[in-house]
Structure formats: C-alpha cells, structure tokens
Amino acid sequence: MDVSKATHGSIEIDRALYEFVNNAVLANSTVNQEHFWNGFENVLQNFTPKIEHLLRIRDDYQSQIDEWHLAHKGTPHDQES
C-alpha cells in the first residue's frame, strides 16, 4: 500500500492526517499551521529518544516473560499466587 506523505521540516506525516489537522482541526483554531507543525516536530525530536529507550526496556521485559512461560510450559498455573 502506497501511503501519500506530507513533509514538514524533518518529519513525514500521512497526507490524510496532515490535511485533516490543517483543514478540520486548525481551521477553527487560533493556532496557525506552521506553528502547530513546528511544535509537533519539536515534541517528536525531544521525546523520540526517550520513547525508543522505554520501548527497548519493554521489549526486554517481554522477552523475560516469554522465556518464563516457555520454561514453565505445561505446568499447572496457581491462580492464588
């Protein structure tokens, strides 16, 4: 599936989302498009490294959970504990 993209600064946005935000959300707002997308780009730049770090931690936890379940496959589950 080829998804059309809009580019603003260093970010690519799904064209349908970009047009919805510009034409429906911001149309009745005092925030102009340039200010909104610059702010959104700034949020992404600031939080992406932290989010990626947290996702790696989550993946590590999920791997440990998966390993535990594989190691205990077939053993009865104690719902009381």
> Mean pLDDT, to the nearest integer, of 4-17?
96
Q: Is the pLDDT of residue 1 over 70?
A: no
Residue 81 lies inside a defined structural domain of this protein: no
Give residue-wise pLDDT tens across range 16-70: 999 999 999 999 899 999 999 999 999 999 999 999 999 999 999 999 999 999 9
The secondary structure of 44-74 as a DSSP string is HHHHHHHHHHHHHHHHHHHHHHHHHHHHTTT
pLDDT digits (tens, 9 = 90+) for 61-78: 999 999 999 999 999 888
| Domain containing residue 20 | 5-71
The CA distance from 64 to 13, in Å, is: 35
Residue 14 lies in a domain: yes
What is the tally of structural domains in the chain?
1
Q: What does the block give as tokens for 15?
A: 């064209």
What pLDDT shows up at residue 79? 81
